[in-house]
Every structure is written in C-alpha cells, then in structure tokens.
Amino acid sequence: MARTRRPFFCGNWKLNGSIAESLALATEVRNGVSTVRDVDVAVAPSFTALHAVAKRLEDGPVAVAAQDCFWEDKGAYTGEVAPAQLVDVGCKYVIVGHSERRQLLGELDAAVNLKARAALKAGLTPIICVGETLAERDSGETLGRVQAQVDAALADMAEADLSRVVIAYEPVWAIGTGRNATPAQAEEVHRFIRSRVAARSAGVAAQMRILYGGSVKADNIRVLMAEENVDGGLVGGASLSAESFVRLVKEGASV
C-alpha cells in the first residue's frame, strides 16, 4: 500500500552537545541522508546550538527544530524564547509539550496549547507531544489521557493551522527505557489520535503526520512504520549518533 503521508523523522537531542559537537553531528546527519528520497528529516539541538546548526544545514535536506518555545512575542519573561526568535535563527519546527517538560517542569495542557498556537502564528510547525505514564496505562487510562492532551493542545486552532500540526505519541514509560511500545500498542493510540483530529476535520486528520517516540531505533522502526497510522519517529537516544539516526531514517523511509 502506498503511503499517503510523507514520513518524518526528527532527532530530539535533548540536553546534549556543545556547538562544535552539534555541528559535527548535524553535518554527518546531513551527509548521511542526502540520498534518501521522499522523507522529511529534522534535528532538534539545544537552544545554544540552534543558530550554528541552522546555518550549517541551510538549503540542505535536514531542517532544524527547537525543543520548546514560549507563547508571547516579547516582554518581561526572563529565560523564555519566542517563536519568532526561533524563526530568526533558522528553525522550521518546534517540539512542544514533551513529557520531560510536563513531568519535570510542570508544563500543563493549557500551556502546550498556547505554545503550539504561538508557534503556528510565527510560521513554525509545532510537533505536539502527548502520551500516558505507566500508571495511566496500567489503570486503563491511556486513551482518556491522550484524548485530554490532544483536545487541549488543539483547542481554538483554525482548520488551516490544524493542518500544519504534527503530533508525536510518546508513551512516557517507553522514553529512554529501551522498552518501546509494540506496533499494535502504537497503532491503537495513533488511530485514536487521528479519530480525535477527524472529529474536527476529516480532511486534516487524513493528512496529519503522527510520529511515534520512545526507544525508537534502526532495528525497530520498520515494524512501527508498517502500521497504517504511524508516519514517522521522534527519536531521542538513537539520534545522538549520526550512524544510528541515518540508518533509522533509511530503514523507516523504505517501509
């Protein structure tokens, strides 16, 4: 069956890397994926390396994502970074609502919505992360939790904006644990997410890319990508080595 949605793989480097290390990794990724067709690839370095990496990757096949943004354009918000500033340094995407921010920094659904809408207004594509904890999965609350996160994140978005959104399903128990969701577990939630988006717009839902994240590697991406509603990956640990990320992109794009 031909894919209806272009696969997308984004490396989330989290809190890792000097400018020099980030440049070296970005350059290797760019060189490694340059021959891969019909795929979108992005890397998300730390704020401190964004400008240098974006310059290095300019006009190439790999786009740059930030790992977070604020929702205001400017003002007395010490330590925050505005979406327009991310555009200014060369970002195309921004990750919002990552579970590490939700869990460690108390980020709430309402803030994720504000960030996603501010990103869209500035011309960025938000990659909105959702996912349940192990306790929520074990008590049968997975779909309820994901529904609440998706509905809140997409609230008050016009259809034209909604059509630019990417969602990443990242079960918290699968992040950095080496224990990834089975393809069937991922597909169940991805299908559910698409149905929530379809309640807003069937057309948007059909073309929205929904990425899976959580211990994704080159040797497990193929079975995940074989699922109808898995359109790519948001990759942590395996994106910190160019060799493993490039292999993952090649494997994932060829399914």
Q: Does 183 bind ligand 13P (CB under 6 A)?
A: no
* Count of residues in contact with ligand 13P, rule CB under 6 A: 14
Among 85, 142, 215, 220, binds ligand 13P (CB under 6 A): 215
The answer to whether residues 4 and 38 touch, using CB atoms and an 8 Å cutoff, is: no
Choosing from 107, 136, 170, 187, which is the catalytic residue? 170
Question: HSE-up of 60 (CA within 13 Å, CB side)?
Answer: 24
Least CB distance from residue 6 to ligand 13P, whole Å?
20
Return the closest-CA partner of residue 5 out of 247, 229, 213.
Answer: 229
> Closer CB to ligand 13P, residue 43 or residue 204?
43
Q: Does 213 bind ligand 13P (CB under 6 A)?
A: yes
The answer to whether residues 100 and 67 touch, using CB atoms and an 8 Å cutoff, is: no
- 98 noted as active-site residue: yes
- Interacting stretch for ligand 13P, rule CB under 6 A, among 32-40, 72-80, 182-190, 228-236? 228-236
> Scanning residues 69 to 108, which ones bind ligand 13P (CB under 6 A)?
98
Q: Does 235 bind ligand 13P (CB under 6 A)?
A: yes
Distances (CA, A) of 224 to 20, 125, 175, 209: 33, 23, 15, 14
Burial class (CB in 10 A: 0-12, 13-18, 19+), 191: middle
Question: What is the C-alpha to C-alpha distance for residues 25 and 32, in angstroms, rounded to an integer?
Answer: 10
- 190 noted as active-site residue: no
Q: Does 216 bind ligand 13P (CB under 6 A)?
A: yes
Question: What is the C-alpha to C-alpha distance for residues 213 and 210, in angstroms, rounded to an integer?
Answer: 10
- Interacting stretch for ligand 13P, rule CB under 6 A, among 27-35, 143-151, 193-201, 208-216? 208-216
Question: Could you list the residues that contact ligand 13P (CB under 6 A)?
Answer: 12, 98, 170, 175-176, 213-216, 234-238
**Enzyme catalytic residues:** 98, 170
